Structure 1
């Protein structure tokens, strides 16, 4: 069985008000080409199809147009599960129609039996080539509804309930497979622990090599250990935006988003995964190929002092290829160190105006807000810059303001250790 695993499309996303329809259209054209060239008989989409629970008409058009375009392709099965950004009701509104096209949508576990999440997958000849356990994202209320009579500590809730759910769905999938030598795959949209790559070995309080807070990416609650997954041939995960294996297991993977979803990801390659899974008796064979997605737009984060940022912008302006008609659009985020008495926007205004037409600054971000506030310089902070602070930075300043401590004091650190995780749990 050969299929393509992808996730986290976030259709309708407008990162810093960038219109991303052109990116989505180009990706879908490319993805259909890959399906044809690689002769992939199935497509598995592991959640977060849309960016919001009420996607725009244009985002829905992109989604349905792409699915309709697969009718004449080698892809004979599509599995779509809901993510935390999706509305299960919206995804399942066309379920009956899509079922006719062998496009199976599972937006939520509400009202479903384990058997309702198990599907046969077919090859081009109409023969069954595999079984899929289509498990969507579970919100906390859904987790608790699955164990109404049991009292489980919050720290064990996710692992306990997911273990129970996957076990029950696996039992039904085994019944459906019967004695046929068919590969069995599963989906999931969740935070798995023990990731490789970008978050490998990082604690929630640490940062990645590219400055991303692990806490911002994976949260503090809900991490699911790889032990919850049953002994299937492949687990297709969504929720993490970069491609990764779980517990160094090549059979448990995040495909990552095909798009750049934040400037912290600007330099990371993005992929879809081409998976070949075979079952010969008790023996299984698995091969996974990472196919890098093309970029319609380019993204760049420029960091440093205001002078360093200015010099890098000037270098971009003077680059030989800048401004040509065929040059891709380049969106820029400026991450600068706040300097007393200097307005960053005024300081860089002329430099930004000199950028070629294909380049634009779409976001401003202060790199050291905690140190800035710790120096009690809040009165000099521009109100227009507040929107550039993330949840962690805002809550940090709120805690310090309420307690009256500085971030560098022992009391301030103790207050942050006590209260900041609570704020971030709420934000998550």
Structure 2
């Protein structure tokens, strides 16, 4: 059975107010062609189809137009699960209609029996070629409702215990449906799994990516489920993490990642969909191909001193060879600059920005290391101690974090001396 695994489209997303409709349309055209090229019988979309719970009419049009375009293609099964950004009722509202077209939608697990989230997948000849367990994002209120009083546990164990339960029940149903046939079983999920490889593997739960999402959007280990919750299926198609990754170094448990750049910290990273080929159940024949998605819009983060950034911006206006090769694609830039006392970054770079070609725009400004400075300035305080800091100490930390200066530097001492009296006066 061959299928395409993708997730986290976030249709309707407007990162820094960029109109991304053209980018989304180009991706969906490319994806349809890829499905035909790979002769994939199934498409799995593992959540976060939309960026908001109430997506625009344009975002909905993209979604339904794409699904309709697959009706006469080689893709005989489409599996769609809800993510944390999606409105489960909105996705489920068209479930019965889409099911007639072999498009299975599971927006929410609420009140569904295991038999309602497990179903056969058919090939182009109408023969069963696999079994799918379609589990969507499970919200905390749903998690708690899935446990009996005797199963109640601490918050830290909640996600692990409930996911273990629902995946086990679903797998039991899948086994009944398989009925001894050598059909591969695939499962889905939209969650944070533990022990990832790659970009976020060493990040702390308090850190954030540029898309505004915390590495863990819940405290402690809540939501950070171990690979052991997944049953012995042939493949687990996950969504929620925006880059391609394996879980616990297991090639059969994967995040496809988002096909789009969702933050400037991802600007230099490739984005993918996964083409998965799995033979009969239990055979060691899994093959996963990472396929890089097209770059319709280009994103650049330019970092350094203001002088260094100015030189980089001037390269665009001089039509450097590297940018010529990429034609007239829209290029969006984030300026990540080191603060310089007495210098306005916008004023300093105004002429260089004005001279940029029409297809190049500066859409984001960021002070380099400002978040790290704020974090490091308070890292020696316990949470209880932060509450007991007086106004002078809090304002001092605020001045240092906003200026990008250290308390030991002469500039930092001068900034404190200049601004602290003003803050204290306002506090009085």
Q: Normalized against structure 2, the TM-score is what?
A: 0.84
1:278 Cα deviation after fit = 1.2
Give the corresponding residue for 2:30: 30
Residue 79 of structure 1 aligns to a residue in which SS?
Answer: strand
Bigger mean CA offset, 271-280 vs 20-29:
271-280
Residue 308 of structure 1 aligns to a residue in which SS?
Answer: helix
Q: Is 2:330–2:359's contact at 8 Å kept on the other side of the alignment? A: yes
Give the corresponding residue for 1:171: 172
Q: Is 1:187–1:237's contact at 8 Å kept on the other side of the alignment? A: yes
The change in CA–CA distance for 1:399 and 1:66 in structure 2 (over 3 A counts) is farther
1:331 Cα deviation after fit = 0.3
Give the corresponding residue for 2:262: 261
Residues 370-409 of structure 1 correspond to what in structure 2 (within 5 A)? Answer: 404-405=393-394
Measure, in 2, the Cα distance between the counterparts of 1:223 and 1:178: 33
1:218 Cα deviation after fit = 3.0
The change in CA–CA distance for 1:6 and 1:400 in structure 2 (over 3 A counts) is farther
Give the corresponding residue for 1:140: 140
Q: Normalized against structure 1, the TM-score is what?
A: 0.84
Measure, in 1, the Cα distance between the counterparts of 2:92 and 2:302: 42
Give the corresponding residue for 1:197: 198
1:200 Cα deviation after fit = 2.9
The change in CA–CA distance for 1:350 and 1:157 in structure 2 (over 3 A counts) is same
For residues 50-82 of structure 1, what are the alpha-carbon distances to aligned partners after superposition, in whole Å with 9 as ceiling and x for unaligned?
000000000000000000000111000000000
Residues 62-73 of structure 1 correspond to what in structure 2 (within 5 A)? Answer: 62-73=62-73
Residue 278 of structure 1 aligns to a residue in which SS?
Answer: coil
Runs (5+) with no aligned partner, structure 2: 378-385, 398-405, 408-428
The change in CA–CA distance for 1:326 and 1:373 in structure 2 (over 3 A counts) is closer
Runs (5+) with no aligned partner, structure 1: 377-396, 410-428
The change in CA–CA distance for 1:12 and 1:113 in structure 2 (over 3 A counts) is same
Q: Is 2:210–2:263's contact at 8 Å kept on the other side of the alignment? A: no
Q: Is 1:8–1:241's contact at 8 Å kept on the other side of the alignment? A: yes
Q: Is 2:8–2:46's contact at 8 Å kept on the other side of the alignment? A: yes
Q: Is 1:323–1:357's contact at 8 Å kept on the other side of the alignment? A: no
Give the corresponding residue for 1:216: 214
User: Which structure would you say has the larger Rg?
Assistant: 2
Give the corresponding residue for 2:244: 243
Give the corresponding residue for 2:291: 291
The change in CA–CA distance for 1:126 and 1:258 in structure 2 (over 3 A counts) is same
Residue 10 of structure 2 aligns to a residue in which SS?
Answer: coil
Q: Is 2:206–2:216's contact at 8 Å kept on the other side of the alignment? A: no
For residues 291-329 of structure 1, what are the alpha-carbon distances to aligned partners after superposition, in whole Å with 9 as ceiling and x for unaligned?
111110100001112222112111222233558994211
**RMSD of the alignment, in Å?**
2.6
1:327 aligns with 2:328: yes
1:339 Cα deviation after fit = 2.1
1:160 aligns with 2:158: no
Q: Is 1:206–1:213's contact at 8 Å kept on the other side of the alignment? A: no
